[in-house]
Amino acid sequence: MLSWDQSSSIALMQRERAWVEIDLAALSHNVQQILSLMSPQTELMAVVKADAYGHGSVTVAQTVLQAGASWLGVATIPEGIELREAGIEAPILVLGATHTADQIRAIEHWRLQPTLCTPKQALVYSESVRGSVLPVHIKLDTGMSRLGTSWEQAVEFVQLVKGLPNLSIDSIYSHLATAEDLDPTIRKQQQKRYEAAIRACGYDLAGKHPRFHLANSAGTMVDPSLHYDMVRTGLILYGLYPAEHLRSGSHLPPASRLDLRPVMQVKARVTQVKRIQPGTGVSYGHRFVADRDTTIAVVGIGYADGVPRNLSNKMKVLVRGQQAAQIGSITMDQLMLDVSHIPALQEGEVVTLLGQDGNEKILADDWANLLGTISWEILCGFKHRLPRVSVGQPYVAKRAVFDPIKRTLG
């Protein structure tokens, strides 16, 4: 345990070296944007798994719940416990699979809600539940080939769970594999399978029923008929678009276009500035060699903070509103920039790795494109060594908070 003095001095060092800034105003704004696409009867589940995609799950959860989200989605039980320990009372769905008696005890104790993926898992749950009736969420596989029972076996699965003591079906859900693709074929096939399975179970999609939900961020944006009772959004909460054509909105009806603001910025300080001569190599392996007199800045952030080493000699960093090329191998704790075009740069000045500075902007999408990956992976790659610092004022929803009438099966 840290003494008071030590912990407060760590807090003071939040912006000493490198940090992640979380813009709570942008986050609330994004929630408002998403709600504007939805009918008032549809609930918003904020997906805050993986520490809210690297943004810090407790702060994000508190902010999005104030702004009008009513459910939280996590991947694991410890992620749910972290939210409960912070005093968050909203319903929390564990999207991942859970099986063991210890896990079931934790789910009950912390009032988390599990996803049931298989009949076997449902039986274990029914036998293990100790307290009152546990709300559960049935997962159907309609074409993602990840968790869930095949949509073709939905009737048997739902009948089984309905007949088991101690469980009540709160929702039946599925997950889309290709919602951000321009080609809607697979998405429409999944939607057809999902609806067919629900109807085969004897439910009316518009009637009194368990909750139905299918849409992730992209699904929420591309087609309101995917919304049903709830949408589960991750990426767009954090202000990024699931695909470039969804940013421009060129393929969307005007009412579906979203004005999203990136929530995360990554910043670090210059720790030394020096001149090097032509022919001088920079960093491990000398993968950069100066071809002229060059001014370099050493910056206190590296791959142990989550800046991927494969961005070495490729990425740009914003310095005083201008782009500066990163040069040489990115090291564990530090990286170097060519700042020859920036006069009299000082130690201690702040540079922006992701975010906006003046008219220049670098998005997680830019890193993802350089690396051949997706922005989701970039966001959740920032390590805990980087303090998360909140900025901006969140705002509170005008939308009436959803009345959590419990909808269970009769």
**Binding test (CB under 6 A) with ligand PLP, winner from 95, 107, 138, 297:** 95
Q: Which is nearer to ligand PLP, 99 or 385 (CB)?
A: 99
Q: Does 77 bind ligand PLP (CB under 6 A)?
A: no
- Hey, which residues between 34 and 63 contact ligand PLP (CB under 6 A)? 47, 49
CB atoms under 10 Å from CB of 325, counted, come to 16
- Could you confirm whether 173 is annotated as catalytic? no
Nearest to residue 35, comparing CAs of 261, 227, 209, 180?
227
Q: Does 243 bind ligand PLP (CB under 6 A)?
A: no
Q: Which range of residues in 227-235, 269-277, 334-342, 357-365 is near ligand PLP by CB under 6 A?
A: 227-235
Q: Is 332 annotated as a binding residue?
A: yes
Q: Which is nearer to ligand PLP, 175 or 193 (CB)?
A: 175
CA distance 357 to 77: 38
DSSP assignment of 61-87 equals: HHHHHHHT--EEEESSHHHHHHHHHTT
Cα 405 to Cα 46, 50, 169, 394, distances in angstroms = 19, 29, 14, 27
Q: Is 13 annotated as a binding residue?
A: no
- Hey, which residues between 102 and 161 contact ligand PLP (CB under 6 A)? none
Q: Which range of residues in 7-15, 16-24, 153-161, 229-237 is near ligand PLP by CB under 6 A?
A: 229-237
CA distance 52 to 382: 11
**Are 204 and 403 contacting, i.e. CB atoms less than 8 angstroms apart?**
no
Choose, from 192, 284, 361, 383, the residue flagged as catalytic. Answer: 284
Q: Does 233 bind ligand PLP (CB under 6 A)?
A: yes
Q: Does 216 bind ligand PLP (CB under 6 A)?
A: yes
3-state secondary structure of 185: helix
CA distance 201 to 271: 63
Q: Is the dihedral of CA 343, 347, 353, 354 positive or negative?
A: negative
Residue 169-188 contact track with ligand PLP, rule CB under 6 A, x = bound: ------x-------------
Q: Which residues bind ligand PLP (CB under 6 A)?
A: 47, 49, 95, 175, 216-217, 232-235, 242
Q: Which residues are annotated as a binding site?
A: 146, 332
Q: Which residues are annotated as a binding site for substrate?
A: 146, 332
Q: Which residues are catalytic?
A: 49, 284
